[in-house]
């Protein structure tokens, strides 16, 4: 799927509902998560299914600017989450990390053509 324009900041998007906290974890900042936690998160065992960037003044949020990450741990039949204080300056690094996580999830859905599914197009019939 081609890269989409990044016209919308991550904190401007409001996901419906909310994620299950599961086993909650906290980090000091994005750098701690990116250098000490993320490298040890096996994407096969920790499926990121949701993220929420909370920013004061957006979507009725008045707390600290925070990124929340929600994972399913399929082999443990449970959930976990990370709450990470962030700033606008962290957005490029966060976006890059999220993109890697969604590419991994897309690979789990092969051979479904996700680009066509997202666009609501029927999957092509296989030859044979």
pLDDT value, residue 1: 40
Alpha-carbon distance of 71 to 22, in angstroms, equals: 9
pLDDT tens for residues 33-60? Answer: 999 999 999 999 999 999 999 988 777 7
pLDDT tens for residues 57-114? Answer: 777 777 788 999 999 999 889 999 999 999 999 999 999 999 999 988 888 888 877 7
Sign for the pseudo-dihedral over CA of 36, 17, 8, 112: positive
5 pLDDT higher than 90? no
* Encoded tokens for 99: 């993109």
Has this prediction a pTM greater than 0.85?
no
């Amino acid at each position: 799927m081609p890269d989409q324009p990044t016209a919308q900041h991550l904190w401007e998007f409001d996901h419906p509902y909310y994620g299950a906290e599961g086993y909650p974890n906290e980090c000091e900042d994005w750098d701690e998560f990116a250098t000490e936690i993320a490298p040890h998160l096996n994407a096969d065992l920790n499926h990121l299914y949701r993220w929420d960037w909370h920013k004061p003044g957006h979507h009725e949020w008045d707390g600290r600017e925070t990124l929340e990450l929600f994972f399913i741990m399929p082999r443990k039949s449970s959930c976990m989450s990370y709450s990470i204080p962030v700033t606008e300056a962290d957005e490029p690094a966060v976006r890059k990390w999220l993109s890697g996580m969604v590419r991994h999830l897309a690979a789990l859905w092969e051979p479904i053509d996700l680009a066509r599914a997202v666009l609501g197009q029927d999957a092509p019939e296989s030859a044979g």
